Chains A and B, each alone.
Chain A
Amino acid sequence: MAFKNLEDISNNIRISIIKAVHAAGSGHPGGSLSASDILTVLYFHEMKIDPKDPKMKDRDKFILSKGHAAPVLYSTLAEKGYFPKEELLTLRKLNSKIQGHPDMRKVIGVEMSTGSLGQGFSVAGGVAMANKMDGKSGRVYVLLGDGELQEGLVWEAAMSSAHYKLDNLTAIIDWNGLQIDGNNDDVMTVKPIDSKFESFGWNVISIDGHNIGQIIDALSQAREFKGKPTAIIAKTIKGKGVSFMEDIAGWHGKAPNDEEAEMAVKELGGLW
């Protein structure tokens, strides 16, 4: 698929994120917008999946370890055709299947329930091991936040995935530099991310997480790399695409009001 098309899809996903979080009145727009380009390339270019056959044997699986970015996952699944886009407006509402954090028992296409940080990454390692054990070709992709790297479980899982040479596992770090209380560097330094993963035995690729071409190339390299899991360190901008949200920690977990949502959607070229 041409880059332009992927950029358009990512833009649509961003519009859906704003509309869903606005309708919910709460949620996490910042870290959803920063990951939109990554999920777009995964779901519309890289992964072997079929929304018409969502349980397809040998399918690739994506796990959102940073589960609070649920709006980007739901918006991507809806864009891909797993469920109608209208349902995005039920985000976080009572009796909705799209919960505040992803629930695999409620939404077809969600491969793992996440929300408590570090766990999706650990589970992804288990899925990758099971795939290897069964000789399945399906690959496993997992998206982590940078703040999430502060969880001890992340490094337990990083160690075991390298130990068991899970080259069918690709972790992508959405490195937007911000977490709820501010800059990673002020709250708890996670840098250097690349050499941490390297020293844990991972193949590491650093990219601009908003450059579609670089994301495509990195995922392709990860697919070809044998003997080690790959970590793609994707430098991103929190709130990417909405000028007044960009690079502001305050937009980690806050919904836009009516005026802000309208401004954001119009800036993204959407209809309000």
Chain B
Amino acid sequence: MGIKMATRQAYGEVLIELGEKYKNMVVLDGDLSKSTMTAEFGKAYPDRFINMGIAEQNIYGAATGFAISGKVVFASTFAMFAAGRAFEIIRNSIGYTRANVKICATHAGITVGEDGASHQTFEDMALMRTIPGMMVINPSDSVSTKKLLRQVAEIDGPAYVRLGRYAVPDFYKNDDIIEIGKGNCVREGKDITIVATGIMVNEAFLAAETLKEEGIEARVIDIHTIKPLDKDIIIKAAKETGLIVTAEEHSIIGGLGSAVAEVVSQNYPVKMEIVGQMDTYGESGKPEELKKKYGMNADAVAAACRRLLNK
């Protein structure tokens, strides 16, 4: 594995590059620019950076106003407050008008860590993917974050991009091809498929390495685009491997696991296990401790695979 970088850091870096390319791009934030990493954009392009204060509903209302005035808008805050607090503004003002607003939400999931349950969102992907026309992106590392954000900026329409607080290993190389709406098979295997998203892609890869030592060949697929979902790669995996484990740093209700189950059950039913946050709140702790306690690490993924394989 290469260097470690938080996906929010990659977001901050690519914003500068996009700001140069798109002169009609603006960035909105809500008093969290040093955490969401939009602050550097603010330094580079002070005239195109707007701090909306601690008022998340108004961030996304104003973002809509900029978008319907012809701007490419990136609007950031923590995922909890974007997808959660501002949900209905995102649904009715951004989604309904198909406004060109990129909701780049950081600090998603359990790896927020010490801030604890109030800041750890496990509901955001479930909420966002029910909005008609909303693209939902959950990158696994800094390389794919940058590649995906460049494509997101190019598309006219709303998108929710889920980013993390803590540093994760770079999984991809710069010459890897990452395309919105296309899952990436990052490891071949015939016995079982692990469909993972976000930081769980790396965990799934580590789980597959462990399983290999036990004689199990697990395929690993990165679904960085939760919506529109790459149905083909999932149906193919169901047909070829017969068993699917999904892995996400998100509630087991409504996220990747649900999305994959919707595809599999209607096209080629196979047995599945969904690895993610059980129907419970998180708590304070170090990211690695929390991943272990709440069952969102390589061990949890490997255990789920063994259960499905009856081994």
Contacts and interface: CB of A to CB of B under 8 A. Distances in A.
Secondary structure class of chain B's binding surface, majority of residues: helix
Interface residues on A, range: 20 to 34
Contacts of A118: 57, 61
B58 A129 contact: no
B53 interface: yes
Contacts of B58: 122, 125, 153, 156-157, 159-160
A48 B97 CA distance: 24
Contacts of A111: 68
A131 B71 CA distance: 11
A123 B93 CA distance: 8
B253 to A, nearest CB: 25
Contacts of A122: 57-58, 60-62, 64-65, 89, 93
B89 A153 contact: yes
B70 to A, nearest CB: 7
A123 B71 CA distance: 13
A133 B48 contact: yes
B65 A129 contact: yes
A266 interface: no
A191 B53 CA distance: 26
A124 B65 contact: yes
A127 B65 contact: yes
B57 A130 contact: no
A250 B60 CA distance: 34
Given A122-B57, A152-B57, A127 B68 contact: yes
A112 interface: yes
A160 B55 contact: yes
Interface in A108-129: 111-113, 115-116, 118-119, 121-129
5 contacts: A122-B89, A127-B65, A129-B50, A130-B71, A159-B58
Given A126-B61, A160-B58, 20 more contacts: A104-B68, A105-B98, A112-B64, A112-B68, A112-B97, A113-B92, A115-B92, A116-B92, A118-B57, A123-B93, A125-B61, A126-B63, A126-B66, A130-B26, A130-B65, A134-B69, A153-B89, A156-B55, A156-B57, A159-B53
Interface of A: 103-105, 111-113, 115-116, 118-119, 121-131, 133-134, 152-153, 156-157, 159-160, 163-164
